[in-house]
């Protein structure tokens, strides 16, 4: 069954979609969460970024908490409007799997470091965050079957074991697949803006796991951050989806599960709480296992890690790293500069784009009004610079180019040509513009002569025009423009042509 | 219960080299190529962080 963007009719009439999202983000730290092994494991030789602590060896030294990983978790909490706890308690989350060296994962249980926050999506939908806490990643494992014996086995690379993670859990307040996608996009933007993580899902730096259920309309309510049944209604179990490799797949997997669950209910099939995996090739989810509840993990306080006190001074110091985030920028661009919502969203989608835009706007506003400068900067970024895909163009050069366009010295096409020439062949934009200006002055001085020559060399077109075929004038303007290598002002050319043709 | 510490006293984020790949592979019973090999049934086929 392929995911459909449009909800089925029965869905809209009878059921509500309820989604909570769990997101794991690897932090931008140099070392691991509880040991000094390097945390950058991408494309490293397997099992080369490890020590007895992250291997869970019996004689390993005690775990030592990475200060920066905790600071980044607090920064994520501050960036998402959370309350920050003044103590951090680490717990051992027990389960047995080959990717977990110690037999437990060090995580948090109750009293997470950050709680009760929220994020607003680009559409202004508020998504409530239940908790954000630090924990450690597990090893990378691949499953195989031995040909000779038929035995099942795993090959393990422990480089990823104990890389710092931030876990973000929303309340079950998401009501559409798009809102889930928008929330994940927003979280990634916050992580990138604040240098918490690159958030590259293909590299596993960010993982999204939606918890999905469908409930009959009017038979449940959202109360104190929880879904509770009304009367005798029995809530349908939720499904957790893993193995999602892109933000688009977050939306697709929810759409698929929504339709699958409704079909199950309508056909009288019992739904069991379970974990399913997203199969991106087939655009479906597949059963993986019945889902454990928290009590199955036997959480116990980790006796090897002291309770960490977080003071208000710590929080104040960390909050100095907060900067204006994408959503705030969008609002400001629209309110102060009348930029379209679409342009504001695209420009602020990355910190690099937004900073480039703001610098260009500031530079242009020395010659133009604030709004005009923002509009020109936005038009050039959206229409030309993002298409070229290069933000290495010097702001001062680009400003000169845009002002030359505004002053009628060059056309937009000519401007783009100069930009590309500068990037591909290293041509100096300033010198190119000076050359064009000079040529233009020469052309202006000699325009009458050039027009006269053009009239002389295009007698048929001239006769057609004189015979009443006015559209021929466009052809003649084009001929003059060609003769001036595009440097003449088309309006001046037109006017001069008309004058000369009258003679 | 655990004793307390402060955020400021935690370990600084400075990486150090740990074990070599050979040391890791020598410390385990089964290996295959550069990987540690563990015989186990597939329960879910995914990481559970």
Yes or no, beta carbons of A68 and B13 under 8 Å apart: yes
Q: How far apart are CA A68 and CA A80, in angstroms?
A: 18
Quick check: B39 pLDDT over 90?
A: yes
Yes or no, beta carbons of B4 and A135 under 8 Å apart: no
Residue B44 forms contact with A (CB below 8 Å): yes
Quick check: B48 pLDDT over 50?
A: no
Confidence (pLDDT) at A6 = 67
**Mean pLDDT across A76-90:** 98
Confidence (pLDDT) at A353 = 95
Q: How confident is the model at residue A373 (pLDDT cuts 50, 70, 90)?
A: very high
Distance between A16 CA and the closest CA of chain B, angstroms: 28
In 3D, which of A69, A116, A29, A86 has the Cα closest to residue A315? A86
Yes or no, beta carbons of B39 and A46 under 8 Å apart: no
Query: Which residues sit opposite A164 in a β-bridge?
Result: A136
* Model pLDDT for residues A308-318, shown as the tens digit of each residue: 999 999 999 99
B-proximal residues of A, 80-109, CB under 8 Å: 87, 95, 97-100, 105
B-proximal residues of A, 178-207, CB under 8 Å: 207
Specify the DSSP class assigned to residue A111: S
In 3D, which of A246, A22, A436 has the Cα closest to residue B48? A22
Q: Parallel, antiparallel, or unpaired for β A91-94 and A239-242?
A: unpaired
> What's the ipTM?
0.90
In 3D, which of A411, A340, A409, A415 has the Cα closest to residue A385? A415
Q: How many residues does chain B have?
A: 49
Task: Please give the residue of chain A at the shortest CA–CA distance from B41.
Answer: A152
**Which residue reads 């009239």 in tokens?**
A455
* Model pLDDT for residues A410-428, shown as the tens digit of each residue: 888 888 889 888 888 888 9
Q: How confident is the model at residue A468 (pLDDT cuts 50, 70, 90)?
A: confident
Taking CB atoms and an 8 Å cutoff, what residues of chain B touch A55?
19, 24, 27
State the CB neighbour count (10 A cutoff) for residue A123. Answer: 10
Helix (H, G, I), strand (E, B) or coil at A384: helix
Quick check: A1 pLDDT over 60?
A: no
Yes or no, beta carbons of A66 and B27 under 8 Å apart: no
Residue B26 forms contact with A (CB below 8 Å): no
Confidence (pLDDT) at A294 = 59
Taking CB atoms and an 8 Å cutoff, what residues of chain B touch A165?
49
Distance between A93 CA and the closest CA of chain B, angstroms: 10
Confidence (pLDDT) at B43 = 65
Residue B29 forms contact with A (CB below 8 Å): no
CA distances from A58 to A52, A92, A130, A156, B27 (A): 8, 16, 36, 18, 12
* Model pLDDT for residues A105-123, shown as the tens digit of each residue: 999 999 999 999 999 999 9
Average pLDDT along chain A: 92
Confidence (pLDDT) at A158 = 97
């Amino acid at each position: 069954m392929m995911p459909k963007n449009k909800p089925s009719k029965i869905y809209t009439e009878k059921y509500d979609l309820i989604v909570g999202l769990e997101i794991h983000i690897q932090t931008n730290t140099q070392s691991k969460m509880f040991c000094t092994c390097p945390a950058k494991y991408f494309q490293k030789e397997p099992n080369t970024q490890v020590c007895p602590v992250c291997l869970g060896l019996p004689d390993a030294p005690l775990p030592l908490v990475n200060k920066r990983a905790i600071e980044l978790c607090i920064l994520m909490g501050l960036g998402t409007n959370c309350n920050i706890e003044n103590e951090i308690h680490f717990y051992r989350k027990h389960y047995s799997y080959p990717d977990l060296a110690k037999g437990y994962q060090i995580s948090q249980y109750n009293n997470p470091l950050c709680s009760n926050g929220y994020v607003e999506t680009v559409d202004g939908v508020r998504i409530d965050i239940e908790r954000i806490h630090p924990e450690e990643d597990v090893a990378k494992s691949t499953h195989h079957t031995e040909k000779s014996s038929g035995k099942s086995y795993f090959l393990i690379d422990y480089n990823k074991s104990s890389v710092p993670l931030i876990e973000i859990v929303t309340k079950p307040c998401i009501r559409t697949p798009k809102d889930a996608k928008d929330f994940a996009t927003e979280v990634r933007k916050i992580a990138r803006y604040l240098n918490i993580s690159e958030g590259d899902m293909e590299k596993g730096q960010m993982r999204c796991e939606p918890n999905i259920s469908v409930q009959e309309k009017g038979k449940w309510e959202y109360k104190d951050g929880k879904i509770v049944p009304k009367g005798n209604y029995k809530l349908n179990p939720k499904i957790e989806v893993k193995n999602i490799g892109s933000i688009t797949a977050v939306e697709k997997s929810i759409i698929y599960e929504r339709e699958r669950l409704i079909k199950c209910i309508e056909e009288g099939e019992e739904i069991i709480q379970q974990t399913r995996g997203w199969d991106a090739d087939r655009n479906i989810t597949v059963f993986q296992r019945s889902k454990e509840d928290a009590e199955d993990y036997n959480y116990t306080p980790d006796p090897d890690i002291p309770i960490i006190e977080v003071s208000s001074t710590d929080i104040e110091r960390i909050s100095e790293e907060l900067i204006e985030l994408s959503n705030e920028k969008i609002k400001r661009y629209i309110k102060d500069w009348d930029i379209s919502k679409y342009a504001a969203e695209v420009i602020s989608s990355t910190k690099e784009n937004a900073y480039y835009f703001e610098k260009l706007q500031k530079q242009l506003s020395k010659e133009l009004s604030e709004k005009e400068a923002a509009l020109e900067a936005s038009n050039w970024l959206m229409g030309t610079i993002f298409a070229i895909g290069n933000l290495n163009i010097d702001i001062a050069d680009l400003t000169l180019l845009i002002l030359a366009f505004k002053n009628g010295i060059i056309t937009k096409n000519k401007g783009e040509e100069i930009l590309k020439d500068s990037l591909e062949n290293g041509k100096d934009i300033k010198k190119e513009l000076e050359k064009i200006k000079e040529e233009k002055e020469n052309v202006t001085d000699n325009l009458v002569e050039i027009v006269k020559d053009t009239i002389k060399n295009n007698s048929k077109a001239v006769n057609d025009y004189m015979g009443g075929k006015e559209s021929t004038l466009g052809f003649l303007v084009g001929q003059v423009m060609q003769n001036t290598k595009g440097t003449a002002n088309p309006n001046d050319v037109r006017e001069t042509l008309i004058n000369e043709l009258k003679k | 219960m655990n004793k307390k510490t402060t955020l400021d006293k935690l370990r600084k984020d400075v990486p150090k080299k740990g074990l070599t790949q050979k040391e890791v592979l020598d410390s385990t019973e089964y290996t295959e190529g550069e990987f540690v090999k563990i015989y186990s049934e597939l329960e879910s086929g995914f990481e559970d962080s």
